[in-house]
Amino acid sequence: MATPGRTQKQIAERYKGNLGYYKRKHPWRVARFCASFLALAGGVAGVVLFQRHGNEEFFNSGVISSGHATIAKDCAQCHDKSAAAGNDLTLAKFSGVVKDRFHRGVDFRSIDLRCQDCHEKHPPFGLPKKYDLHEPNVVENRSCSVCHQEHLGPGPMKRVADSECASCHGNAAVMQASAKKGTTLPPAVFHLRAHPPQQVVFEMPRPAPGYTQVFSSFAADHPEFQLIQQKARDPDVLRFNHQRHFAADIPPVSGQKLDCNYCHKPEPGGRYYQRISFAANCQACHALQFDVKNPELKIPHGDVALVRTFLRTLPAQYGDYARLKKGRTRDADVQSFVVQQIRQLQEQFRTGEELERAVFFATDPYKPQRQQTAAIRANFAGCAFCHEVKMAANSAPTITKPILVDRWMPQAQFNHAKHASVKCDECHNARQSRETSDLLMPAKANCVTCHSPQTKKVASDCLTCHGYHAPAQVAADAHASETSSFKEMLLGGNR
């Protein structure tokens, strides 16, 4: 240890008899005091002058995005300056705000409320206080400003980074707490994403812990899609064999070979596909020809009662057919034609009841004609050939209505138009499917072939497929007992 140059006694000798040393006005001390005072006074004066004559752009932290360019000159649209204006700012309020900021960080509530003033369609109005803007089982509310950051330059607002999603979904403790909270909530509150009433949506039961599996990225450890993981089956009982429709012996329809695009046609926007219907997609091949000798006489489709009426009024049906299709105008010729056709039917079916049973329940009543060409044989193969038909006592048979699903993965966003360059079978593998119950949806591995950082083909971030916010349309019965405004939820909840 180095020896000090002077001892304490030697240092004290300097101030011996000079006890008023620090009371004297030393030039340097006076200069330092004056400089500090002027700096503080100048700062206070600057604040006062700015409040009266200043320009808010002085405090602008950066250029605002193009989406908010119309309010770039009006900071009050987002920032609340009421506390610093007029007589609202008091010493007690100022000290309270400073203390709160030291303990809880920056308060974004005022900005969030301003966001809601314009973006009122985004938050789910009517949610109880205990529910969130995202999913009901979240354990911590997220401020708008945390994910949607402004003043980062011109152009579109910066896309929300995966790190914001990973702050919860990559945190085991947060996910565990979220799963625990989810067990305390009624199932109805999780049905936040309403769908158009005309859409049929395939909704799988929510897993017991919810969607709280920890993962870091889609390509790496994102869980397998639920319907693939749980080997879900198509609920439709309509009998359909995709593989059979790709067979080489299927004749062209209107000069076009059957393929995926013949039946599956995109909606005008291209995002989804139009629903399959008998009239638009099946009737060209399965024309429901009732009589091989009268191919233009067809059984009606879609109404059991109408089919029974058709079969029980066959003389009238043949009479109309003779007049409209055969060109017979004389009543005698029409009657002769009707008698001849009914006699031919009686040779094949002894009674009307037998004919009706064959139409509803036989899976192939015209099997002897299968060796004939498609152009001349009757195409009607019986209702039970495609449909589930059930006998009903003392009434008409019942046919199970087909379930044609429009949305298979309601938790994800998908746009078919953006995947037009990909062959249908690469994702859906329909050419190998023989059963209606086969769920022809892609697995995660199909998506990773493109949506992966390694391939660098397309985006693979969270927002590519998922949206954070719960939609504005929420089932009213799920929240009828307790309501609060979006503002109340922000002010009363955690940030």
pLDDT (0 to 100) of residue 374: 47
Among 134, 83, 130, 129, smallest CA distance to 107 is for 83
Buried b (16+ CB within 10 A) or exposed e, 453-482: eeeeeeebbbeebeeeebeeebeeebbeee
Structure token pair of residue 102: 């030291």
How is residue 389 written in tokens?
């038909």
Q: What is the 3-class SS of the chain, one letter each residue? A: CCCCCCCHHHHHHCCCCCCCHHHCCCHHHHHHHHHHHHHHHHHHHHHHHHHHHCCHHHHCCCCCCHHHHHHCCCHHHCCCCHHHCCCCCCHHHHHHHHHHHHHHCCCCHHHHHHHHHHCCCCCCCCCCCCCCCCCCCCCCCCCHHHHCCCCCCCCCCCCCCHHHHHHHHCCHHHHHHHHHHHCCCCHHHHCCCCCCCCCCECCCCCCCCCCCCCCCCHHHHCCCCHHHHCCCCCCCCCCCCHHHHCCCCCCCECCECCCHHHHCCECCCCCCECCCCHHHHHCCCCCCEEECCEEEEECCCCCHHHHHHHHHCHHHHHHHHHHHCCCCCCHHHHHHHHHHHHHHHHHHCCCHHHHHHHHHHCCCCCHHHCCCCCCCCCCCCCHHHCCCEECCCCCCCEECCCCCCCECCCCCCCCHHHHCCCCHHHHHCHHHCCCCCCCCCCCHHHHHCCCCCCCCCCCCCHHHCCCCCCCCCCCHHHCCCCCCCHHHHHHHCCC
Residue 294 and residue 351: Cα distance in Å, rounded?
Answer: 20
* Residue 227 CB-density burial (10 A; 0-12 exposed, 13-18 middle, 19+ buried): middle
User: What backbone phi and psi angles, to 5 degrees, belong to 201?
Assistant: -115, 135
Asked whether 60 and 153 are in contact (CB, 8 A), the reply is no
pLDDT at 147: 85
Tokens of 376: 């001349």
pLDDT attached to residue 169: 92
- Contact call for residues 149 and 158 (beta carbons, < 8 A): yes
d(C-alpha 363, C-alpha 269), whole Å: 39
Instruction: Provide the pLDDT for residue 470.
Output: 66
Distance CA 125, CA 122 (A): 9
State the SS3 of 277-335: CHHHHHCCCCCCEEECCEEEEECCCCCHHHHHHHHHCHHHHHHHHHHHCCCCCCHHHHH
Give the separation between CA 352 and CA 337, rounded to whole angstroms. Answer: 19
Residues 418, 253 contacting (CB under 8 angstroms): no
The pLDDT profile of the chain, 495 residues, written as one tens digit per residue, is 566 677 887 777 776 666 666 677 778 888 888 999 999 999 888 877 776 766 656 666 788 898 898 888 888 888 876 655 555 667 777 777 777 777 766 677 778 888 877 876 544 333 344 434 678 888 877 788 888 888 888 888 888 889 889 999 999 999 999 999 999 998 888 876 667 777 888 988 889 899 999 998 998 899 999 999 999 999 999 999 999 999 888 888 888 888 999 999 999 888 889 999 999 998 888 888 877 788 888 899 989 999 999 999 999 999 999 999 888 889 999 999 999 999 988 887 888 888 888 888 876 544 444 454 544 444 566 888 899 999 887 788 999 999 999 999 988 889 999 998 899 999 999 999 999 999 999 999 999 999 988 877 788 889 999 888 766 544 333 333 333 443 343 333 333
The set of residues, in sequence order, having a beta carbon less than 8 Å from that of 355 and lying 6+ positions away, is 311, 345, 349
Contact 482, 128 (CB under 8 A): yes
* Burial (Cβ within 10 Å: 0-12, 13-18, ≥19) of residue 345: middle
Output the pLDDT for position 347: 83
41 φ/ψ angles, rounded to the nearest 5 degrees: -65, -40
Write down the pLDDT at residue 126: 38
**pLDDT at residue 458 in the model:** 84
Predicted pLDDT at 58 = 61
pLDDT at 100: 75
Residues 272, 199: Cα–Cα separation, whole Å? 11
pLDDT at residue 492, as a whole number: 39
Q: Where are the domains of the chain?
A: 94-193+470-495, 208-269+404-469, 280-385
